[in-house]
């Protein structure tokens, strides 16, 4: 699919919505509801901090105006469509509930239903050693993972081995909510240990509806799959519960937690088209320098349609929104987002009076020949393109009433007050504040090239932890997240027999996986697979097409290799 850099705002903002819900979309171009955008909460909070929460809240506000608004992909572009709800494409998979204790480590009568879905389309009753492939839903509604049960990695592996496929929703997400609100106290049972215990209890005790035989672990080989945060959980489950988890596949697994994830944006800088990256670096440096001059800074913000946005930190944070679309790239155009490429095309496009001058187009950022004057500011035309992109294609659609401070300001503590269950941003923010970190900041070396502002520091990114979660009666947010609890399980070096590590070559999360430059290189073996997908971004292996022959060569290759090592693992299983 090819989109013009002049894509209209309505189509662009819808494409952004698709980017932010990339994992929720079907691998077969099936339509998605507005709820699918919930899937992006973790990515937005990581990459945009307080502004990520703003986008989620603005989305919820817009959704409430029209309950029948849904995102639909057309034949050659993305756009909004008003109409009746489409037929459920996953009606084959009915939701079921498994009773879990609220607290696995203290006596309490409080239980909740953990939602799951099961596929038995490839299951042969009574077969010896039937494998069960469970995909961890991670920090989103499990409904968003159903494509993986239909044509994605769960179905691929189940079909190759005669196995059963399962999607297991994570506590506090989707419909697996054990509490009546998301206050500080109510969220205190949302942690790594409780979530891991949920999965272990499920594997050891679940009775699948319509299945007469006992498929529980350790009586059957269970293979645990997860991507991103859920990928780290898959690796952790293999380490923590080796008797129940026969094997695990950790895709784009962020097994090393960190306070700052500044390298997330640096991967994008290094992997993006060189002209786009150079224009981004130059634009951000120029913006930072102008913001240091109060009067000129206000004029500059006005070019972006954000003159009345009080705090410069909120302003520069908003400018990172198009960059988040990098993670939305996918080998399948029905799933992937074009937004990052559309943004890059707009950023580097010369003004019409420069277009016929190759010397100007090819000149480096800041060259005198590229400068234009706007409202008394002399700026490279890439900065003006950046401003026009935000002003014309982002601000009007996220903030149609024009109250810029109300839409994008984050310093008012009242902004963080809602604790109702529709504040879907609260569970993942709580997890980042308590255990996982990953707050996006500029590089620690102020002289290093960067594509986000130097104003984006840890203090700004972490401020919502105290704003959103005031001390409760029973729980208080730590001053810093306890990332040691995550890294103690192995971090970069996490390893075990029948634990596969799979990452994308240009995944912005790669610096926090075992394929990070900080981790030791490893041999890739059948027992301990260690694989990189060329040009891959975020858990590319999770997606599949009904006709695998239509998949790109590198995706067919990784799926074939995954089948190979899983079949080899199953040969090692003994009752």
Q: Which residues are catalytic?
A: 228, 507
Alpha helices in 73-163 (DSSP H): 146-150, 153-161
Q: For residues 449 and 445, what is the distance between their CA atoms, to the nearest angstrom? A: 9
Q: For residues 436 and 396, what is the distance between their CA atoms, to the nearest angstrom? A: 34
CA atoms within 13 Å, Cβ hemisphere of 27: 26
Exposure letters 398-428 (e unless 16+ CB within 10 A, then b):
bbeeeebbebbbbeeeebbebbeeebbbbbb
Q: Quick check: 382 and 365 in contact, CB under 8 A?
A: yes
Residue with tokens 């393109």: 385
Residue with tokens 């498994």: 98
Q: For residues 133 and 498, what is the distance between their CA atoms, to the nearest angstrom? A: 14
- 262: tokens are 């500044």
How far is residue 122 CA from its own chain's centroid?
A: 30
How far is residue 529 CA from its own chain's centroid?
A: 24
Residue with tokens 């569970």: 427
Partner residues linked to 164 by β-bridges? 132
Give the closest residue to 316 by CA, choosing from 205, 442, 424: 442
Q: For residues 236 and 245, what is the distance between their CA atoms, to the nearest angstrom? A: 10
- 75: tokens are 């034949």
Q: For residues 505 and 502, what is the distance between their CA atoms, to the nearest angstrom? A: 10
State the angle between helix axes of 9-20 and 381-393 in degrees (0 to 180), rounded to the nearest 10.
80
Residue with tokens 């780290």: 232
Residues 85, 29, 170, 460, CA torsion sign: negative
- 291: tokens are 């913001």
- 190: tokens are 């949302």
Q: For residues 383 and 377, what is the distance between their CA atoms, to the nearest angstrom? A: 11
Q: For residues 503 and 344, what is the distance between their CA atoms, to the nearest angstrom? A: 25
């Amino acid at each position: 699919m090819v989109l013009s850099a002049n894509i209209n705002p309505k189509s662009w903002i819808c494409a952004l919505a698709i980017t932010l819900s990339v994992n929720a979309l079907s691998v077969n171009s099936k339509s998605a509801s507005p709820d699918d955008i919930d899937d992006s909460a973790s990515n937005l909070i990581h990459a945009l901090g307080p502004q990520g929460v703003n986008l989620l809240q603005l989305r919820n506000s817009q959704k409430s105006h029209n309950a029948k608004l849904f995102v639909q992909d057309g034949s050659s572009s993305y756009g909004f469509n008003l109409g009746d709800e489409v037929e459920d494409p996953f009606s084959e998979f009915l939701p079921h509930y498994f009773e879990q204790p609220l607290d696995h480590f203290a006596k309490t009568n409080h239980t909740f239903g953990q939602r799951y879905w099961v596929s038995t389309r490839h299951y042969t009753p009574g077969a010896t050693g039937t494998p069960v492939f469970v995909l961890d839903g991670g920090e989103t509604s499990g409904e968003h993972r159903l494509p993986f049960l239909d044509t994605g990695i769960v179905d691929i592996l189940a079909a190759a081995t005669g196995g059963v496929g399962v999607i297991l929703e994570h506590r506090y997400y989707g419909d697996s909510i054990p509490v009546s609100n998301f206050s500080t106290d109510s969220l205190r049972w949302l942690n790594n240990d409780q979530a891991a215990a949920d999965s272990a209890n499920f594997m050891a005790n679940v009775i699948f509806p319509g299945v007469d035989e006992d498929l529980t672990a350790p009586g059957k080989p269970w293979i645990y799959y997860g991507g991103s945060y859920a990928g780290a959980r898959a690796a952790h489950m293999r380490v923590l519960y080796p008797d129940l988890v026969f094997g695990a596949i950790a895709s784009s697994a962020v097994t090393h937690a960190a306070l700052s994830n500044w390298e997330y944006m640096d991967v994008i800088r290094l992997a993006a088209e060189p002209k786009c990256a150079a224009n981004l670096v130059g634009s951000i440096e120029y913006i930072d320098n102008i913001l240091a001059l109060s009067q000129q800074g206000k004029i500059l913000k006005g070019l972006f349609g954000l003159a009345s946005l009080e705090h410069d930190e909120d302003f520069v944070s908003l400018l990172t929104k198009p960059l988040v679309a990098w993670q939305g790239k996918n080998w399948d155009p029905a799933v992937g987002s074009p937004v990052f490429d559309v943004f890059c095309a707009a950023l580097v496009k010369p003004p019409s009076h420069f277009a016929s001058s190759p010397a100007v187009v090819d000149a480096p950022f800041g060259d005198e020949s590229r400068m234009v004057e706007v409202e008394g500011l002399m700026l490279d035309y890439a900065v003006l393109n950046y401003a026009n992109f935000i002003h014309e294609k982002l601000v009007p659609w996220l903030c149609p009433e024009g109250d810029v401070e109300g839409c994008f300001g984050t310093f008012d503590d009242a902004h963080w007050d809602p604790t109702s269950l529709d504040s879907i941003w609260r569970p993942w923010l709580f997890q980042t504040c308590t255990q996982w970190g990953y707050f996006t900041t500029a590089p620690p070396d102020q002289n290093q090239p960067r594509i986000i502002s130097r104003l984006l520091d840890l203090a700004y990114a972490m401020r919502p932890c105290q704003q959103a979660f005031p001390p409760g009666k029973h729980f208080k947010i730590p001053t810093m997240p306890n990332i040691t609890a995550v890294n103690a399980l192995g971090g970069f070096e996490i390893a075990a027999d029948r634990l596969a590590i799979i990452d994308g070559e240009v995944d912005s999360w790669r610096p926090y996986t075992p394929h990070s430059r900080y981790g030791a290189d490893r041999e890739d073996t059948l027992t301990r697979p260690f694989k990189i997908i060329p040009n891959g971004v975020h858990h590319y292996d999770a997606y599949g097409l009904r006709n695998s022959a239509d998949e790109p060569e590198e995706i067919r290759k990784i799926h074939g290799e995954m089948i190979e090592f899983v079949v080899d693992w199953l040969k090692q299983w003994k009752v």
